[in-house]
């Protein structure tokens, strides 16, 4: 699994039905929404994306679209370990509406999702095999029940030569994450599409460079990352040998 998401979805009712009916979003309406959600930040339009690709933008970029009744924002900044601590102004935007947060990262097998109704937190879950259950608020939603009942155990294949150890959680967070994404937002990132899924690739999102004027300078951050990368030792590359053992290779 390689899915990553950082998504907020506001809706007046059933987001799935609303998203099925949307056409091209209005740029002025979307820009006004961005200025409400990022008050005082520098916002500059850039190349856009779509709902399937745009749920995990690069750092400093957000993809968004606003239609009557439903708003979508993809931004790494909403990938927070404790969803109940989503900034208050983002929750306040959900007054009289539904708000869904969905965030997952395949490298860490981490999932977080949350649901607010009219500004009230109804459900929040965040977990990973390394950290365990980080947050668990509210009653499990219907799509979660098979996982908590033990009907969807994690199926982990160990590396050749390694002993199989029990997975640290009773189920795989990314599998639950895909079901959460489908149930709450109407589409998935990985897996077999179902007939009722929306066509997320057909829903265009506008792109925005977004910067906190009081935050760190993006150029300085990028330079620091380059410096750290250059200081790292060369990667070690392995391949499977005829007997199933891992053999280190000299290069790529």
> Distance between CA atoms of 159 and 15, rounded to whole angstroms?
41
DSSP secondary-structure letter at 119? T
Q: 250 lies in a domain?
A: no
* Residue 124: alpha-carbon gap to chain centroid: 14
Q: 154 lies in a domain?
A: yes
- Determine contact, residues 102/110, Cβ cutoff 8 Å: no
Q: 243 lies in a domain?
A: no
β-bridge mates for residue 99, sequence order: 10, 116
Q: 191 lies in a domain?
A: yes
Number of domains in the chain: 1
Q: 234 lies in a domain?
A: no
Domain of residue 87 covers: 4-227
Q: 189 lies in a domain?
A: yes
Tokens representing residue 111 in the block: 């999932």
pLDDT in tens, 124-158: 999 999 999 999 999 999 999 999 999 999 876 54
Q: 34 lies in a domain?
A: yes
In the chain the beta strands, taken as DSSP E runs, fall at: 4-11, 42-50, 61-67, 70-74, 98-105, 110-117, 120-128, 132-137, 204-211, 237-240, 246-249
pLDDT score of 123 more than 90:
yes
Q: Mention every residue, 6+ apart, whose C-beta is less than 8 A from residue 109.
A: 128, 129, 130, 172, 173, 174
Q: Which of 140-154, 161-175, 230-244 has the lowest mean pLDDT?
A: 230-244
User: What is residue 159's predicted lDDT score, i.e. its pLDDT?
Assistant: 47
How many CB atoms are closer than 10 A to CB 170? 13
Q: 67 lies in a domain?
A: yes
pLDDT in tens, 54-96: 999 999 999 999 999 999 999 999 999 999 999 999 999 999 9
Binned at pLDDT 50, 70 and 90, residue 228 comes out as confident
Burial group, residue 149, by CB count within 10 angstroms (0-12, 13-18, 19+):
exposed
β-bridge mates for residue 67, sequence order: 70
User: What is residue 221's predicted lDDT score, i.e. its pLDDT?
Assistant: 62
| Predicted structure pTM score | 0.83
């Amino acid at each position: 699994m390689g899915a990553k998401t950082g998504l907020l979805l506001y809706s007046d009712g059933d987001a799935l039905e609303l998203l099925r009916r949307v056409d091209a979003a209005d740029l002025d309406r979307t820009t006004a929404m961005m200025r409400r959600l990022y008050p005082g930040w520098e916002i500059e339009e850039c190349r856009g994306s779509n709902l399937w690709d745009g749920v995990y933008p690069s750092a400093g970029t957000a993809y968004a679209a606003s239609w009557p009744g439903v708003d979508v924002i993809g931004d790494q900044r909403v990938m927070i370990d404790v969803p109940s601590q989503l900034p208050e102004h983002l929750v306040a935007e959900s007054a009289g509406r539904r708000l869904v947060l969905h965030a997952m990262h395949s490298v860490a097998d981490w999932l977080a999702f949350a649901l607010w109704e009219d500004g009230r937190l109804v459900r929040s879950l965040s977990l990973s095999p390394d950290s365990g259950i980080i947050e668990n608020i509210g009653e499990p939603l219907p799509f979660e029940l098979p996982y908590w009942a033990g009907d969807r155990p994690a199926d982990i294949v160990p590396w050749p030569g390694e002993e199989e150890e029990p997975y640290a959680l009773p189920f795989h967070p990314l599998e639950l994450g895909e079901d959460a994404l489908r149930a709450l937002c109407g589409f998935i990132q990985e897996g077999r599409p179902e007939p009722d899924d929306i066509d997320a690739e057909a829903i265009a999102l506008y792109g925005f460079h977004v910067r906190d004027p009081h935050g760190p300078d993006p150029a300085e951050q990028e330079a620091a990352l380059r410096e750290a990368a250059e200081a790292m030792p060369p990667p070690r590359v392995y391949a499977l040998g005829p007997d199933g053992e891992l053999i280190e290779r000299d290069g790529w």
